[in-house]
């Protein structure tokens, strides 16, 4: 089997991540941050260590500014819905700007807010060079700007540090969806310039499913209002969620095994080095992209970027059929629309969808060559 669906979830997980996750499952554990006894304290320590590992990966010195969630979708919902609520206390119907490459975990919360008449929404397309219209974004003066750090469809990345700086001066809150980038790209706030970062724990971080995170920069001028309310293990007589992070946004019992696996994933990544991971993945992507470009009937959807997945199609064939044919030959990819409908409309693939090939850190050159051989046969 050749696994080329790492943009959906990383496989295989590193042995270190599996070992650390199993260790916490086998250990006597209590509910972290709830009780005062040994087992609860031990669990809380495991959560804190994971926070510290992830903070180091993000070059943050305040682990308490990392909020654990059940996944990137939950993180984005908290960031978006909670920020709009917070901004909405001062300004009616704030303007939110985003782009066509966003995943439905960004778009659907925004469409919900738009339907409820709580925001004004502008969704922008890149120009022919793949860049967002920065002058237009600045002239719009959004209250909230949400952008992906790397598209889950094409690997599209926008270089927006300067734009972020200018938007910040105008009081705009900036959220990035780093679900596809964290683990192979420097996603620190110093590098991105964003205020909030949302990410999944089981993709680039290589943890198990069930975890995600929402991180806040030091200069973030606003904290989202709580979207979920419930037990936090703190400030119990307060009818609202506590004011301080992370408890403010961590209602309910934390997914301890997923959190431990994310922390272990961060440690694994730091040991291997972001640059090595990126170079390995880039090399595989380069082999696949160049090979597919030489085929007659398969097409690589352009523009392509050095990192992230490759989207291909074969004429007007339905992408699911091609993915199914690949699977019959032992190659696992993803067909369809990848929960990013506007990206497919922009790329002109709204009828066929696309077959997404997403290699990971464990994909070998041999596997890439085997994939190309099969695609070559299917190209006849």
Site residues for another protein per CB under 8 A: 32-33, 35-36, 41, 44-45, 47-48, 51, 62-64, 232-238, 242-244, 246-247
**Closest distance of CB 249 from another protein, Å:** 12
**Closest distance of CB 218 from another protein, Å:** 9
CB closer to another protein, 27 vs 45: 45
**Closest distance of CB 55 from another protein, Å:** 10
Q: Which of 159, 147, 102, 100 is nearest to 124 (CA)?
A: 100
Phi and psi, residue 18, nearest 5°: -65, -45
Q: Output the CA angle 123-144-263, nearest 5 degrees.
A: 105
Residue 276 has which token pair? 């090595």
**Do 146 and 158 meet the contact criterion of CB atoms below 8 Å apart?**
no
Three-state DSSP class for 153? Answer: coil
Phi and psi, residue 5, nearest 5°: -130, 40
Q: Which of 349, 368, 320, 363 is nearest to 7 (CA)?
A: 363
CB closer to another protein, 40 vs 70: 40
What is the maximal distance between C-alpha atoms in the chain?
A: 70
CB closer to another protein, 237 vs 377: 237
Q: How many CA atoms lie within 13 A of 143 on its CB side?
A: 20
**Closest distance of CB 97 from another protein, Å:** 32
**Closest distance of CB 243 from another protein, Å:** 8
Q: Output the CA angle 72-75-77, nearest 5 degrees.
A: 110
**Closest distance of CB 255 from another protein, Å:** 16
CB closer to another protein, 235 vs 290: 235
CB closer to another protein, 28 vs 36: 36
Distance between alpha carbon 270 and the CA centroid of its chain, in Å?
18
**Do 312 and 357 meet the contact criterion of CB atoms below 8 Å apart?**
yes
Phi and psi, residue 212, nearest 5°: -160, 180
Strand order in the sheet with 66-69: 66-69, 212-216, 196-200, 173-177, 144-148, 95-99, 120-124
CB closer to another protein, 51 vs 334: 51
Look at phi and psi of residue 181 and say left if phi exceeds 0, alpha if psi is from -120 to 50, else beta. alpha
CA distance 74 to 54: 18
CB closer to another protein, 47 vs 368: 47
CB closer to another protein, 190 vs 324: 190
**Closest distance of CB 267 from another protein, Å:** 17
DSSP 8-state symbol, 32:
T
CB closer to another protein, 133 vs 233: 233
Instruction: Say which residue the tokens 């990013």 belong to.
Output: 340
Length of the chain: 380
**Closest distance of CB 64 from another protein, Å:** 5
Burial of 380 (0-12, 13-18, 19+ CB in 10 A): exposed
**Closest distance of CB 239 from another protein, Å:** 11
**Closest distance of CB 69 from another protein, Å:** 15
């Amino acid at each position: 089997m050749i696994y080329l669906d790492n943009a959906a979830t990383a496989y295989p997980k590193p042995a270190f991540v599996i070992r650390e996750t199993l260790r916490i499952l086998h250990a006597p554990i209590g509910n972290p941050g709830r009780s005062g006894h040994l087992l609860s304290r031990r669990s809380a320590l495991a959560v804190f260590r994971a926070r510290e590992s992830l903070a180091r990966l993000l070059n943050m010195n305040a682990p308490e500014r990392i909020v654990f969630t059940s996944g990137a979708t939950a993180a984005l919902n908290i960031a978006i819905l909670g920020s709009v609520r917070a901004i909405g206390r001062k300004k009616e119907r704030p303007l939110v700007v985003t782009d066509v490459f966003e995943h439905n975990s960004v778009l659907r919360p925004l469409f919900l807010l738009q339907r409820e008449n709580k925001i004004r929404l502008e969704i922008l397309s890149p120009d022919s060079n793949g860049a967002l219209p920065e002058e237009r974004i600045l002239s719009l003066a959004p209250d909230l700007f949400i952008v992906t750090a790397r598209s889950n469809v094409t690997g599209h990345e926008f270089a927006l540090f300067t734009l972020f700086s200018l938007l910040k001066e105008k009081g705009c809150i900036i959220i990035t969806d780093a679900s596809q980038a964290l683990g192979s790209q420097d996603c620190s706030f110093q590098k991105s310039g964003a205020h909030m970062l949302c990410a999944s724990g089981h993709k680039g971080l290589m943890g198990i499913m069930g975890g995600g995170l929402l991180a806040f920069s030091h200069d973030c001028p606003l904290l989202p209002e709580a979207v979920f309310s419930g037990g936090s293990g703190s400030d119990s007589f307060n009818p609202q969620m506590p004011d301080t992070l992370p408890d403010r946004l961590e209602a309910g019992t934390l997914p301890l095994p997923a959190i431990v696996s994310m922390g272990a994933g961060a440690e694994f990544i730091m040991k291997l080095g972001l640059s090595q991971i990126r170079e390995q993945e880039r090399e595989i992507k380069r082999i696949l992209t160049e090979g597919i470009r030489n085929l007659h009937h398969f097409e690589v959807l352009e523009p392509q970027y050095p990192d992230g997945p490759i989207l291909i199609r074969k004429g007007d064939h339905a992408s699911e059929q091609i993915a199914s044919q690949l699977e019959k030959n032992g190659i696992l990819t993803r067909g369809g629309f990848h929960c990013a409908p506007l990206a497919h409309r922009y790329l002109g693939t709204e009828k066929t969808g696309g077959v997404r090939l997403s290699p990971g850190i464990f994909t070998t050159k041999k596997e890439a060559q085997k994939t190309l051989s099969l695609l070559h046969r299917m190209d006849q």
